Amino acid sequence: MSSIDSAALAAAVAALPERFRGPGGAVGVVKDGEVIIREAWGYADPDAGLPMTASRLLPICSISKQMTCGVLLDLLGDPSALDDQLAEFLPNLEGRRPTIRELCDNRSGLRDYWALTALHGAHHEGVFRRADARPLFARMKTSHFEPGSQYSYSNGNFRILSDLLEDKSGRSLAELYARHIFGPAGMRDARLATDTAAPLNGVIGHEGNAAIGWLPATNRIVWSGDAGVAATLDDMLAWERFIDRTRNDADGLYRRLSTPSTFADGRPARYGMGLAHDKIDDVALTGHGGALRGFRIRRLHAAGERLSVVVMFNHEADAHAAALHLMRAALGRPSAPRGDTPADPAWTGVYLEPSSGLVLNVTTHGNAVLAGLGGGTEVLSFGAEGVARSTGMTLCREGDDLRLDRPGDNLRGLAVRLAGSAAPDIAGRYWSPETESVLEIEAVGSAFAGRFDGFLGRGPMHPMLPVAADVWKLATPRGMDAPAPGDWSVRIRRNRQGMIEGLTVGCWLARNVAFTRLA
């Protein structure tokens, strides 16, 4: 444990409003169990002139997941106590059902239900009721990998867990949080706020940016144990102080939550019990982010340093980057400079990772390799040995293809370079037995678009753009949840005569969903 760089931390905090622009924000830092930074700036609601303060409630979104897992451990101790009840939620799932622990570790293999809402025909500004969740889970027939073998973020894991906890205890989730989390931690104003349509004591979330301005975000989702908690900055600082106060207790709740775990093959995992595990240089971190349309939240905890950082925005700036910025400043560890080896421009291209079925887009810029696999773009540093690395991904050239390793996901494979032009014969209707929904693809002049029709409605048209021979992307830049699914990879399947017999759709959170051509 070491002292912090107070001057660097103060300068980093002062720079936040300009560096991460938006209507308002709040930030707190805890060191050795004491609050040393507690600041807010800007507006909770600019239209009303309502200032942001440390006592304003904001949805903490997916940070709720660790608290749901905390209820599980405090209430039952052993997650396997609920394993037998999982069949009620997944009555049609083929193969081995995941365990409750695999749900808590995001290693269940279940496709994320918020991504799947797009395939079920939801509109991005539609209503998702609590009653809509179970029918969606009941339709699941396959997992997109063998449970335990890989990591894939799935909000539904924690939605199911919270329902099981209510059924087992006979208490509401709100009561369970209050008894097992909020009360012991001294989170006086924290609560379960499931309906995101209603502002919390005046705080409005905002989409947009400095270039186009900020617009009030529309949310009509009813959440649960996946992202339903609302808390103030003061509540979050109380959570961090509780973590520090119980750090030496062998049965301490956060200590049990943050115990490292492994994949089924023994490879170390970077996620478990609702917590992400990361490092700044040699300093181990645990924490989590939260994202709802209009809000971004991040907390980081360095146990060895007894140091915690919390960042809360009522807009969509990068709260993770802000939290890392503060943590590095406090630790006196500025970002390491990138190497000066120029990246090989021959890497630029589009590739297909076969096991996930996702398109890998690669470009180069100076000494950096920019790689996007179904989600956001990662920046990798190109080394003298011809290998590109980031904390989340390693790429190296193998012939005309790229060998890929994502240790956090336990995904390794050869991404094959794509070539050729997509044929314009994809218009038609396609049926998925997995989602029990239809994909309608239409030609609109020389352009194409697709929409999904399912039990949640008949969704909007999404543009479809050609990528390579028999590979397209379908773009959903806005979804019910945030972030949205983004670009879905669409792979065309043909019979021996060259006629289309079906296609497979997938994004990072919901891979390899098969559709058969109807007409």
DSSP assignment of 306-365: TEEEEEEESS-S-HHHHHHHHHHHHHT-PPPPPP-PPP-GGG-EEEEETTTTEEEEEEEE
Query: Quick check: 308 and 243 in contact, CB under 8 A?
Result: yes
Give the ranges where 399-443 is alpha helix by DSSP (H).
Answer: none
- Residues 124 and 296: their CA atoms lie apart, in Å, by 18
- Residues 59 and 338: their CA atoms lie apart, in Å, by 36
The single residue of 64, 65, 108, 381 carrying the catalytic annotation is 65
- Model confidence at 327, pLDDT cuts 50, 70, 90, reads very high
DSSP H or E stretch at residue 370: strand 368-373
Residue range 428-517 in CATH 3.50.50.60: no
- 381-394 CB burial, b ≥16 within 10 A, e <16: bbeeeeebbeebbb
What digits encode the pLDDT tens for the residues 469-481? 999 999 998 888 8
Structure tokens at 6: 């107070």
| Residues comprising the chain, all counted | 519
The domain ranges of the chain are 6-77+173-331, 345-417, 428-517
Q: Provide the strand spans (E) within 400-470.
A: 401-406, 411-417, 428-432, 437-444, 447-454, 457-458, 462-468
Query: Quick check: 502 and 515 in contact, CB under 8 A?
Result: yes
For tokens 């989702």, what's the residue? 221
Structure tokens at 70: 């905390």
Question: In the predicted model, what is the mean pLDDT of residues 296-303?
Answer: 98
- Model confidence at 336, pLDDT cuts 50, 70, 90, reads low
Count of other CB atoms within 10 angstroms of residue 459 = 24
Residue 170 has pLDDT above 60, yes or no: yes
What digits encode the pLDDT tens for the residues 440-458? 999 999 999 999 999 999 9
Q: Going by C-beta distance under 8 Å and a sequence separation of 6 or more, which residues neighbour residue 164?
A: 82, 85, 86, 89, 100
Residue 1 has pLDDT above 60, yes or no: no
Determine what percent of the chain is predicted with pLDDT higher than 90: 91
Residue range 345-417 in CATH 2.40.128.50: yes
DSSP H or E stretch at residue 297: strand 295-302
Q: Which residues, listed in sequence order, are joined to residue 411 by a DSSP beta bridge?
A: 406
Q: Which of 39, 70, 68 is nearest to 56 (CA)?
A: 39
Q: At what angle do helices 319-331 and 6-19 cross, to 10 degrees?
A: 160
Q: Is the backbone peptide bond immediately before 17 cis, with ω within 30 degrees of 0?
A: no
The single residue of 31, 62, 143, 356 carrying the catalytic annotation is 62
Residue 197 has pLDDT above 90, yes or no: no
The pLDDT value recorded for residue 337 is: 66
Q: Provide the strand spans (E) within 2-91.
A: 24-31, 34-45, 50-51, 58-59
The pLDDT value recorded for residue 334 is: 84
The pLDDT value recorded for residue 73 is: 98
The pLDDT value recorded for residue 384 is: 84
Which of 151-165, 259-273, 326-340, 443-457 comes out lowest in average pLDDT?
326-340
What digits encode the pLDDT tens for the residues 370-405? 999 877 789 999 998 999 999 999 999 999 999 999
- Residues 190 and 177: their CA atoms lie apart, in Å, by 9
Instruction: Give Cα separations from 302 to 192, 233, 457, 487 (angstroms).
Output: 27, 18, 45, 34
Determine what percent of the chain is predicted with pLDDT higher than 70: 99
Count of other CB atoms within 10 angstroms of residue 308 = 29
Give the ranges where 20-63 is alpha helix by DSSP (H).
Answer: none
Query: Quick check: 223 and 196 in contact, CB under 8 A?
Result: yes
What digits encode the pLDDT tens for the residues 266-277? 999 999 999 999
Q: Judge whether 345-417 and 428-517 match in fold.
A: yes
Q: Which of 435, 470, 472, 469 is nearest to 452 (CA)?
A: 435
DSSP H or E stretch at residue 257: helix 253-257
For residue 480, the one-letter residue type is M
Q: DSSP state, 509?
A: T
- Residues 101 and 98: their CA atoms lie apart, in Å, by 8
The pLDDT value recorded for residue 374 is: 73
User: What CATH number has the domain spanning 6-77+173-331?
Assistant: 3.40.710.10
The pLDDT value recorded for residue 341 is: 86
- In the predicted model, what is the mean pLDDT of the chain? 95
Q: Which of 193, 201, 178 is nearest to 56 (CA)?
A: 201
Count of other CB atoms within 10 angstroms of residue 211 = 6
- Model confidence at 499, pLDDT cuts 50, 70, 90, reads very high
Q: Is 279 a catalytic residue?
A: no
Residue 329 has pLDDT above 60, yes or no: yes
The pLDDT value recorded for residue 199 is: 83
- Model confidence at 340, pLDDT cuts 50, 70, 90, reads confident
- Model confidence at 338, pLDDT cuts 50, 70, 90, reads low
- Residues 131 and 81: their CA atoms lie apart, in Å, by 25
- Residues 30 and 241: their CA atoms lie apart, in Å, by 7
